[in-house]
């Protein structure tokens, strides 16, 4: 699948959206060392459905794929984010 890390995340997020609809998910790949503190405050205080810990505007505005939070994972949300995942 095109998209590298995000396409790999899709392989987990799509089934999760059907088996645990509405779940809040923290995704980190194996290059992340940590977390060293609770991420609960990040989820509780985030104003967005998709929160990246870092972003880049080098070529286009995008969230880095190695660590992010996604709220309320449902099949409908995954369909709306199809251009990302």
Residue 1: pLDDT band with limits 50, 70, 90:
very low
Place of tokens 């992010």: 68
pLDDT in tens, 12-63: 899 999 999 999 998 888 777 778 888 888 788 888 888 777 777 777 766 6
Q: CB under 8 Å to 33, separation ≥6 — which residues?
A: none
User: What pLDDT, on the 0 to 100 scale, is given for residue 6?
Assistant: 72
User: What pLDDT, on the 0 to 100 scale, is given for residue 28?
Assistant: 83
Do the Cβ atoms of 84 and 10 come closer than 8 Å? Answer: no
């Amino acid at each position: 699948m095109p998209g590298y890390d995000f396409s790999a995340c899709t392989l987990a997020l799509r089934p999760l959206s059907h088996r645990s609809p509405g779940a809040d998910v923290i995704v980190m790949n194996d290059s992340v060392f940590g977390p060293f503190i609770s991420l609960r405050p990040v989820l509780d205080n985030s104003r967005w459905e998709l929160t990246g810990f870092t972003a880049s505007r080098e070529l286009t505005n995008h969230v880095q794929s190695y660590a992010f939070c996604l709220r309320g994972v449902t099949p409908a949300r995954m369909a709306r984010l199809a251009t990302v995942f």
